[in-house]
């Protein structure tokens, strides 16, 4: 091999080594959400919910705990924007921030009241599966003296974290029902979003 060929080979090796070093230095892309991750997320959420319903705390204290769980495990911003519907497009950034905060408390009290019905029973994760672009985790609520019924949690990582964005309780879709409910409340306020926000704080 002549000198020119040897120098070219050395340059290629050096370039290849440098590129390899850069690749090793760069952070690896996060693993995509899978069915086990989705199930693990809801396992943790259910464990927290079961702890609250077995705690014997007062109603108001429970609602505070349910709000903490809702914020920790759910995609609050996505759920709030979906519930507000087309009105979200006209809302200012400050209004969306206020609405999301008020909606967070409202939904925690509303669904917290439902979870309080499970006192004396428990919720258990029984299955999980891929559905289109998200995962559905199926849980069963077992109440004393009543037939078990299922709750389905929809989990996604589109916001950059593994979070649930919908719950279906006995066939009732949270996103759909809240969009209808919030729309009705907004209509009563004749489209006044600030008035709706104040209503949600006490709903």
If asked whether residues 16 and 105 sit together in one domain, one would say no
Lowest mean pLDDT among 115-119, 129-133, 178-182: 115-119
If asked whether residues 119 and 191 sit together in one domain, one would say yes
If asked whether residues 21 and 58 sit together in one domain, one would say no
Boundaries of domain holding 25: 1-30
136-176 pLDDT per residue, tens = 999 999 988 888 999 999 999 999 999 999 999 989 999 99
If asked whether residues 99 and 12 sit together in one domain, one would say no
pLDDT score of 112 more than 50: yes
Domain with residue 133: its CATH number is: 3.10.450.710
If asked whether residues 73 and 23 sit together in one domain, one would say no
> What confidence score (pLDDT) does residue 46 get?
95
Buried b or exposed e, range 152-187, using 16+ CB within 10 angstroms: bbbbbbeeeebbbbbbbbeeeebbeebbeebbeebe
Indicate the helix (H) or strand (E) that contains 112: helix 93-116
Domain count, the chain: 2
The residue whose two tokens read 């009241």 is 113
SS3 90: helix
Half-sphere exposure of 116 (CA within 13 A, CB side): 17
Q: Is the pTM of this model over 0.85?
A: no
Distance CA 88, CA 109 (A): 22
> What confidence score (pLDDT) does residue 110 get?
93
Distance CA 176, CA 168 (A): 10
């Amino acid at each position: 091999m002549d000198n020119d060929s040897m120098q070219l080979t050395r340059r290629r090796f050096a370039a290849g080594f440098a590129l390899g070093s850069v690749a090793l230095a760069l952070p690896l892309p996060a693993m995509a959400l899978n069915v086990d991750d989705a199930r693990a997320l809801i396992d943790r959420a259910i464990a927290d919910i079961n702890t609250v319903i077995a705690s014997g705390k007062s109603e108001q204290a429970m609602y505070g705990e349910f709000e903490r769980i809702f914020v920790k495990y759910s995609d609050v911003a996505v759920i709030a924007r979906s519930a507000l519907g087309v009105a979200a497009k006209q809302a200012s950034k400050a209004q969306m921030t206020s609405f999301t905060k008020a909606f967070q408390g409202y939904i925690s009290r509303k669904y917290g009241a439902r979870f309080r019905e499970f006192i004396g029973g428990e919720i258990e994760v029984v299955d999980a599966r891929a559905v289109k672009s998200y995962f559905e985790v199926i849980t069963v609520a077992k109440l004393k003296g009543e037939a078990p019924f299922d709750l389905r949690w929809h989990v996604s990582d589109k916001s950059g974290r593994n979070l649930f964005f919908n719950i279906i309780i006995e066939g009732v879709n949270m996103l759909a029902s809240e969009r209808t409910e919030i729309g009705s409340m907004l209509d009563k306020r004749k489209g006044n979003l600030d008035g709706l926000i104040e209503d949600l704080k006490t709903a």
